[in-house]
Amino acid sequence: MRQNNGRLVVVVAAVAVAAVAIGGVLAYRQGPSNASADAAPLSAPTKAPSTSPTTASPSKTPSRPPTSTPTVTPSGPVKVPVNLAKLPKGREPQVPYLIGREVRGGAGGAVKIPGKEPIHQIARQNVVVLAVVGKGSGSELLKLGPTDGEVRRVADVSSIVSAADGSATAYAATRRGDDGGALKGGTLYADSGLDVETLKRPNDSNLRVLGYVDGKVYFRADTDDRGAWQFYSWTPGSSKATEITIGSPSALSPDGRITASMSQITDAGSCSDVTVVATGKRLWRTCESSVQGFTPDGRTAFGGPAYADGYCAGTAAALDATTGRLFREWSGCFHQTVAEDDQHLLIVADATDGGGEDGYGSRAIIRCTLTTGACELATPLSGTGASIGS
């Protein structure tokens, strides 16, 4: 989406890197019933709630039977401050993630990405590691096989997504000029590991893949200078893509059922719409948060603040994907939020201590449970940088 205001470009760019949830749904773990973000670690499995994460209150037995249904409230504080120094240590992320230049997690061992170029995105496809890295004013895709030294390159790739089972990936190549500005002409790829299908998009700029669901690739593009992103689906092997009449999509649920769109951007902030893909029906709008993704079951939307300027986001939010009700908000300094499973978010958090290799803060990936708000360290605090796969 093109904007004349420099701040608005930052807002759109920040939303564009939101992660789409990856990997299978993992075992549910219920957090402590009354925990804060710097309290006890997440505890043993229990049954997942059947509605938005809430639990009945109060726990004290009333002196006489209630005459109406008791009020249902969240089981922990709605707003949770995150203090990295006080978080307990938990298990490592159960999805691919990056520490320094080493890809860890997911199905496979640690793999180091060669070179010194900045790493923009990473993913795993079976035993292959894929990384979008900088190249000049643009970027390219590195495909790293299981054998050391086996590297294949795909020019101009700027975004990548994985199928839910990790067996296939889709990626988009979009051309850039010497100044980094978007040029017309791009290509979509659907990679099964054995075959790679392609679709040329000569009139598109700023292609970005949003999901690979049930054999279809969903993507957005700036087409024919309309002034907004258009939304499409493509079945690999077909010579054409199908336009979906939902404008300016920023995220797609892992099941392909609902999407978030940037409906309004101003100097004061932004608004996001959540819409049913099949019907175009808008479920709700928020101008308090920017919706950047959904949990695998599609029941929870997550994102950051509506106003996205600055070194990092000051909040990470969880909302009911059906109603838009905000039920959890963490405060801190955050760079990326991704769903690990239906009940947990992984967040790249910054200590703002100047201890990072870039002169900014040391970072860690933290795990926060939706039902209680409690958080734990999924990786140790480190100065080498961290990010989560997409």
Which tokens belong to 328? 């959890």
The 8-class DSSP code of residue 323 comes to T
Q: Answer for the pair 164, 296: CB distance below 8 angstroms, yes or no.
A: yes
Average pLDDT value over all residues in the chain: 82
pLDDT at residue 352 above 50? yes
Residues 6+ apart with CB under 8 A from 225: none
pLDDT at residue 3 above 50? no
Q: To the nearest whole percent, how much of the chain has pLDDT over 90?
A: 63
Which tokens belong to 220? 């957005």
Which has more confidence, 50 or 312? 312
Residue 300 CA to residue 14 CA, distance in Å, equals 20
Q: For the residues of 101-140, what is the DSSP string, one character each?
A: TEEESSSS--EEPPSSSPEEEEEEETTEEEEEEEETTEEE
pLDDT for the residue numbered 267: 65
pLDDT at residue 345 above 60? yes
Mean pLDDT of the 112-137 span = 94
> What contacts 24+ positions apart, CB below 8 Å, involve 192-195?
192/167, 192/168, 193/125, 193/126, 193/128, 193/167, 193/168
Give CA separation, 130 vs 19, 171, 250, 274, 345, in Å: 15, 10, 22, 30, 22
Residue 40 CA to residue 31 CA, distance in Å, equals 9
pLDDT at residue 26 above 70? no
Q: Answer for the pair 186, 221: CB distance below 8 angstroms, yes or no.
A: yes
The total of other beta-carbon atoms located within 10 Å of residue 101's CB is 18
How many helices and strands, by DSSP H and E, does the chain display?
A: 1, 30
What domains lie within the chain, and their CATH numbers? 6-54+75-388 (2.120.10.60)
Residue 345 CA to residue 318 CA, distance in Å, equals 9
Mean pLDDT of the 328-353 span = 96
Q: pLDDT tens across 370-381, in order? A: 999 999 999 999
Q: Answer for the pair 303, 274: CB distance below 8 angstroms, yes or no.
A: no
Q: Answer for the pair 213, 165: CB distance below 8 angstroms, yes or no.
A: no
Mean pLDDT of the 250-254 span = 95
> Confidence band (pLDDT; 50, 70, 90) for 349?
very high
pLDDT at residue 225 above 90? no
